[in-house]
Structure 1
Amino acid sequence: MSTDAPDPLAGFDATVHAPNRLRICALLDTAGEAEFGLVQRQLGVSASVLSKHVTVLIDAGYVEQRKAAHDTRRVWLRLTRQGRDAYQGHLAALRAIVGPPDPAP
């Protein structure tokens, strides 16, 4: 059976799906930009764990970082347009997987 409707699962993104990466994307989508230390505290992970996840997201083109002008130890993170699209597409795919909520009894 052929259908012209787009596949709602097409937006599922394994890169975003890992729990910590999903949380990073959610935080950055809401905040716009966040300092590395703040993201670390919000996720409750070590700097090395966060760094590994951020590196995966940067390599995918989903996150970019900038260093503060006067203190290069301070790093700010933000989603790229591609990252925001991937995150939003992934959320849509997850909603398609779980389906609409059951109506209240």
Structure 2
Amino acid sequence: MLVLISGLNKALESRIKLGIMSALAVNDQLDFNSLKELLDVTDGNLATHLKSLEKEAFIDVQKSFVGRKPNTQYFMTQAGKKAFGDHLDALERLIKSQK
């Protein structure tokens, strides 16, 4: 069984991190509030997972202002796209092996 799960990325095991990466895979970028609403999580929970993914260099941040309000946009890096794709491939192999 170890061989089957060897391609899974430990950094993407959390459902929230996987949700963030999934959302960013189909959107060029999303702001904090959009991710929070989409994933139905608290500010603190989302911020913690975003910081973790940023530390892994899987996502990056672009901060700006809309009028006087700060706006933080998140997007997936090339390293993040590769890690996410590899993780999905490993999940597919695991699922197919169970047939």
Query: What's the TM-score bracket when you normalise by the shorter of the two chains?
Result: 0.7 to 0.9
Q: CA deviation at 1:45?
A: 0.3
- Who is 1:28 aligned against? 24
Bigger drift between 69-78 and 23-32 goes to 69-78
> Higher strand fraction: Structure 1 or Structure 2?
2
Gaps of 5+ in 1: 1-6
* TM-score, with length taken from structure 1: 0.82
Cα RMSD between the aligned structures? 1.9
Shift of the alpha carbon at 1:12?
1.1
Point out the structure with max Rg over C-alpha. Answer: 1
1:11, distance to aligned residue in structure 2 (A): 3.1
1:13 to 2, 9, 14: 9
How many matched pairs?
96
**What is residue 92 of structure 1 aligned with on the other side?**
89
Opposite residue 16 of structure 1, the aligned amino acid is L
The DSSP-based 3-state class of the residue aligned with 1:65 is strand
Identity among equivalent positions (%) equals 19
